[in-house]
């Protein structure tokens, strides 16, 4: 704009059509510098705001790492695509948009300053203005040329054809087209600069037309012609190498390139010796389903103790009970603000501040007299049995879901629980969670934040009181590391006498070359992973203390290049895994979003360990006919954590799959004769998950059956249904 003012005509003669120029010269030009400053500030603010959402792209660019693989087309390290390409393309686009805006604004001010004058045939442009605009347009052309260069690289991360990544039409049509457009752009830039010494704009105009024509023919029409007339008729043969690139990259990107593969016979008979060898696996079958309407409902009614306590979820974990690894259902007793005895301000924010203790129950057993769970940790104050650790700090100030803000360690004692006689047992918070209300300024700030005058005037609040307002563990983890995504199943762990929550943190990217995007539409909608990613690593374990709210992040996979980049950016955020206490480390497990848990021994093994399993059946209607083709098992024990084992059934054999097993249950006469009378007169029958249990070389399906009252739900385990091959049995115990 300053150059536009400098190059402007000094003695202007105004034509009738120059009224806008006259107005500008008389009213605005005397204050030109101030106007230019305001416009420049506005443009800079807009450009800055446009760049703001790309902070994470810059973070990865500035701390880029290398992978142990390259893409198969350009042979560039995968790290270039994940760490650098997005930010480089953004900078080019940002600079290009900025230059276009600058050029338009500059041309406008050249017009207002008389450097460009309207004429009946064509606008008249002064030599200085022509130089200025030619240089700006040449810069735009050069930026566009660089955009074409990096657009070529982006083809291996995009999906334009049969699979993710560059396919035949991309490699043989779009990439050459982008190379041609690169040289065309540089040619146009050269013509714009060369035109400075010539009169008129005919040469750059001709070049611009050529640019548009080449863009349409080589960039749009030619690739479509190749795809339609060459690729489509021979798609299977032409796309084979690119499909193989896609398969190889997807395996690497999802960490499934080292899956051990074993045959599994799936025989239809089992010997007494095989049953004896599988005795521990059978003893550890999870009979209690942690679903909301089954075990969670039962534990809520038996262990909430008071109406203002609640269990928001249950997790499956393993604890050593009497020397044996045992599957357990674990839940923390949290505060339920909606069921306080009175919703006074003191009750809501000063006295009823926290939950208290845990409930831990073996998932593989039940009371045969009542059908209820048996508890190894129960009641308030909490009592531990069966060799489980004792809870010495049972307060639960932080947990799953946020019960609302509270002020702890005030003059008002905080209720822990009430005795059987109704006598309150209270305490004062001694942790470091939240923010200390150390002065009037902070109290005023929080009073304004929560629009609550009591925070400012209450005599109960002292300088050592602590405002605790962020209490959901998943939200806390996201705020501490917004560049990570987190598993949607935080789980409580009893370790070191305290309640701890463990979360799985993922590094994800959608820019791994040739890797296929995850089919998230086929997975749980409640999962914590993003909807668009083609690279993932469970690189971080997060531990949050339920009493003091301390958030500790551990580098679980220090070899992950994305985690290495984040550690370079935030050197003190991630602790080495060796810093994690052994008590918590023994409860780490493979992420749950895609699996169900079961403690069992792997086929051809006698060792009991916590595993995750998913079965594979043919897609579509064939699943009910052809049965199971394979199953995948992930282990969670510390010494072989994350190992994936694929067990594949022989071709041509029929191994009962989960859909077939359910069908056998539904059509079994004895099962129906038992369910029918139970499912009436105010009672309701509930079926748990159908669990697949490998027994050496064969498969057993187990499905627990619960009965609940329709008006006062308290699910009780009444029967266990077993399916072996096509034989169905239903008994009171497995």
Residue-wise DSSP of 585-603 = HTT-----TT-EEEEEPPT
Report the C-alpha gap between 608 and 615 in whole angstroms.
20
Lowest mean pLDDT, pick from 168-177, 497-506, 648-657: 648-657
Express as a percent the part of the chain with pLDDT over 90.
52
Owner of token pair 């079961």: 598
Lowest-confidence region among 10-19, 37-46, 234-243: 10-19
Over range 310-327, report the average pLDDT: 90
The answer to whether residue 32 scores a pLDDT higher than 80 is no
In three-state form (DSSP H/G/I as H, E/B as E, the rest C), the secondary structure along 177-245 is HHHHHHHHHHHHHHHHHHHHHCCCCHHHHHHHHHHHHHHHHHHHHHHHHHHHHHHHHHHHHHCHHHHHH
Supply the mean pLDDT for the chain: 86
pLDDT at 11 over 70: no
- What is the Cα–Cα distance from 172 to 236, expressed in whole angstroms? 16
Phi, psi of 77 (to 5 degrees): -60, 140
DSSP secondary structure string for all residues of 121-174: SS-EE-HHHHHHHHHHHHHHHHHHHHHHHHHHHHTTTSB-SSSSB--HHIIIII
**655: which DSSP letter?**
B
Q: What is the pLDDT of residue 600?
A: 46
Q: Which strand (E) or helix (H) includes residue 291?
A: none
Q: Name which of 101-110, 323-332, 704-713 the model is least confident about.
A: 101-110
Burial of residue 33, with CB atoms counted within 10 A of its CB: 0-12 exposed, 13-18 middle, 19 or more buried: exposed
* pLDDT tens string 545-597: 999 999 999 999 999 999 999 999 999 999 999 999 999 999 998 886 645 44
Concatenating the DSSP letter of every residue in 488-503 gives S--EEEEETTEEEEEE
| Sequence spans of domains, the chain | 2-249, 257-278+601-734, 475-585
Q: Mean pLDDT over residues 24-51, rounded?
A: 73
Strand partners, 407: 467
Lowest mean per-residue pLDDT among 397-401, 586-590, 653-657: 653-657
pLDDT digits (tens, 9 = 90+) for 122-161: 566 667 777 888 889 999 999 999 999 999 999 999 988 7
CA pair distance 268, 699, nearest whole angstrom = 8
Structure confidence at residue 597 (pLDDT): 44
Q: What is the dihedral of CA 723, 727, 733, 734, to 10 degrees?
A: -50
Please, which pLDDT band fits residue 107 given cuts at 50, 70 and 90? confident
Using CA atoms, how far apart are residues 530 and 417, in angstroms rounded to an integer? 40
| pLDDT at 204 (0 to 100) | 78
Which pLDDT band, with edges at 50, 70 and 90, does 503 fall under?
very high
Question: 681 or 307: whose pLDDT is higher?
Answer: 307
Among 112-116, 526-530, 647-651, the range with the most confident prediction by mean pLDDT is 647-651
How many C-beta atoms surround the C-beta of residue 355 within 10 A?
Answer: 29
Strand partners, 541: 504, 554
Q: Which residue has the higher pLDDT, 3 or 329?
A: 329
Residues with Cβ < 8 Å from 439, sequence gap 6 or more?
A: 463
Q: Is the peptide bond before 629 cis (omega within 30 degrees of 0)?
A: no
Q: Is 387 left (phi over 0), alpha (psi -120 to 50) or beta?
A: left
Pairing of strands 596-600, 609-616: antiparallel
pLDDT at 113: 66
pLDDT at res. 637: 73
Q: What are phi and psi of 642, to 5 degrees?
A: 80, 5
Q: Report residue 202's pLDDT band, with 50, 70 and 90 as the boundaries.
A: confident
What is the pLDDT, as a whole number, of residue 121?
A: 47
Share of the chain above pLDDT 70, in %: 87
Distance, CA of 527 to CA of 536 (rounded, Å): 14
14 CB neighbour count, 10 Å cutoff: 11
Give the integer Cα–Cα distance in Å for 696 and 330: 29
Helices (H) and strands (E) in the chain, counts: 25, 32
Q: Is 376 within 8 Å of 361 (Cβ atoms)?
A: yes
pLDDT of residue 475: 94
**Residue 521, pLDDT above cutoff 80:** no
Instruction: Give the pLDDT of residue 601.
Output: 52
Q: How far apart, in whole angstroms, are the C-alpha atoms of residue 601 and residue 284? A: 10
Query: Is the per-residue pLDDT at 625 higher than 60?
Result: no
- Radius of gyration for the alpha carbons in the chain, expressed in angstroms and rounded: 34
The tens digit of pLDDT for each residue in 527-541 reads 667 778 899 999 999
Report the pLDDT value the prediction gives residue 6, as an integer from 0 to 100.
Answer: 54
Residue 709 pLDDT grade (very low, low, confident, very high; cuts 50, 70, 90): confident
């Amino acid at each position: 704009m300053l150059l536009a003012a400098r190059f402007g005509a000094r003695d202007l003669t105004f034509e009738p059509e120059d009224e806008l120029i006259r107005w500008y010269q008389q009213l605005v030009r005397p204050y030109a510098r101030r106007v230019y400053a305001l416009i420049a500030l506005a443009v800079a603010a807009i450009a800055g705001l446009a760049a703001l959402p790309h902070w994470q792209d810059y973070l990865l660019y500035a701390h880029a790492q290398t992978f142990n693989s390259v893409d198969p087309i350009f042979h560039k390290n995968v790290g270039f695509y994940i760490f650098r390409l997005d930010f480089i393309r953004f900078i080019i686009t940002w600079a290009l948009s900025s230059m276009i805006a600058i050029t338009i604004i500059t041309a406008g001010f050249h017009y207002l300053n008389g450097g460009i004058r309207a004429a009946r045939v064509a606008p008249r442009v002064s030599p200085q203005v022509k130089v200025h605009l030619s240089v700006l347009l040449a810069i735009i052309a050069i930026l566009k040329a660089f955009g074409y260069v990096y657009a070529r690289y982006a083809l291996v991360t995009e999906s334009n054809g049969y699979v993710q990544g560059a396919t035949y039409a991309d490699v043989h049509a779009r990439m050459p087209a982008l190379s041609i457009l690169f040289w065309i752009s540089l040619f146009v830039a050269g013509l714009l600069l060369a035109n400075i010494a010539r009169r008129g704009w005919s040469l750059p105009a001709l070049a611009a037309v050529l640019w548009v024509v080449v863009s349409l023919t080589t960039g749009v029409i030619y690739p479509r012609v190749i795809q339609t007339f060459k690729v489509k008729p021979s798609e299977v043969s032409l796309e084979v190498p690119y499909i193989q690139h896609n398969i190889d990259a997807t395996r690497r990107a999802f960490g499934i390139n080292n899956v051990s593969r074993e045959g599994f016979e799936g025989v239809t008979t089992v010997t007494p010796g095989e049953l004896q060898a599988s005795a521990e696996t059978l003893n550890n079958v999870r009979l209690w389903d942690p679903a909301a309407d089954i075990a969670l409902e039962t534990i809520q009614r038996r262990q909430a103790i008071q109406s203002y306590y609640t269990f928001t979820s249950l997790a499956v974990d393993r604890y050593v009970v009497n020397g044996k690894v045992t599957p357990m259902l674990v839940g923390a007793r949290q505060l339920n603000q909606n069921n306080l005895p009175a919703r006074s301000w003191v009750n809501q924010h000063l006295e009823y501040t926290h939950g208290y203790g845990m409930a831990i129950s073996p998932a593989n057993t039940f009371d045969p007299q009542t059908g209820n769970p048996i508890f190894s940790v129960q009641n308030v104050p909490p009592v531990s049995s069966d060799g489980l650790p004792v809870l010495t700090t049972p307060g639960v100030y932080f947990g799953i879901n946020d019960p609302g803000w509270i002020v702890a360690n005030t003059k008002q004692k905080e209720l822990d629980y009430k005795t059987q006689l109704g006598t309150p047992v209270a305490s004062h918070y001694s942790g470091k969670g939240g923010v200390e209300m150390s002065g009037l300024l902070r109290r005023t700030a929080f009073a304004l934040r929560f629009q609550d005058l009591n925070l400012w005037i209450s005599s109960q609040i002292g300088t050592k009181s602590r405002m605790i307002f962020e209490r959901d563990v998943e939200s806390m983890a996201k705020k501490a590391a917004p560049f990570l995504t987190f598993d949607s199943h935080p789980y409580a762990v009893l370790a070191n006498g305290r309640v701890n929550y463990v979360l799985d943190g993922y590094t994800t990217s959608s820019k791994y070359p040739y890797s296929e995007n995850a089919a998230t539409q086929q997975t749980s909608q409640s999962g914590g992973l993003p909807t668009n990613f083609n690279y993932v690593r469970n690189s971080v374990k997060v531990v949050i203390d339920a009493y003091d709210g301390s958030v500790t992040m551990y580098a679980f996979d220090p070899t992950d290049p994305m985690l290495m980049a984040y550690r370079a950016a935030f050197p003190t955020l991630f602790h080495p895994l060796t810093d994690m206490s052994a008590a918590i480390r023994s409860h780490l497990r493979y992420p749950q979003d895609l699996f169900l848990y079961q403690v069992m021994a792997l086929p051809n093994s006698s060792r009991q360990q916590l595993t995750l399993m998913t079965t594979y059946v043919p897609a579509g209607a064939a699943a009910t006919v052809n049965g199971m083709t394979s199953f995948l098992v992930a282990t969670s024990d510390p010494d072989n954590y994350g190992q994936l084992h694929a067990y594949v059934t022989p071709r041509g054999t029929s191994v009962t799959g989960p859909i077939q097993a359910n069908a056998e249950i539904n059509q079994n006469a004895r099962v129906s004769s038992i369910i029918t009378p139970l499912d009436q007169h105010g009672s309701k029958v509930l079926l748990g998950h159908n669990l697949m249990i490998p027994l050496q070389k064969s498969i057993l399906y187990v499905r627990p059956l619960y009965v609940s009252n329709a008006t006062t739900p308290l699910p009780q385990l009444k029967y266990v249904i077993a399916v072996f091959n096509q034989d169905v049995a239903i008994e009171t115990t497995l």
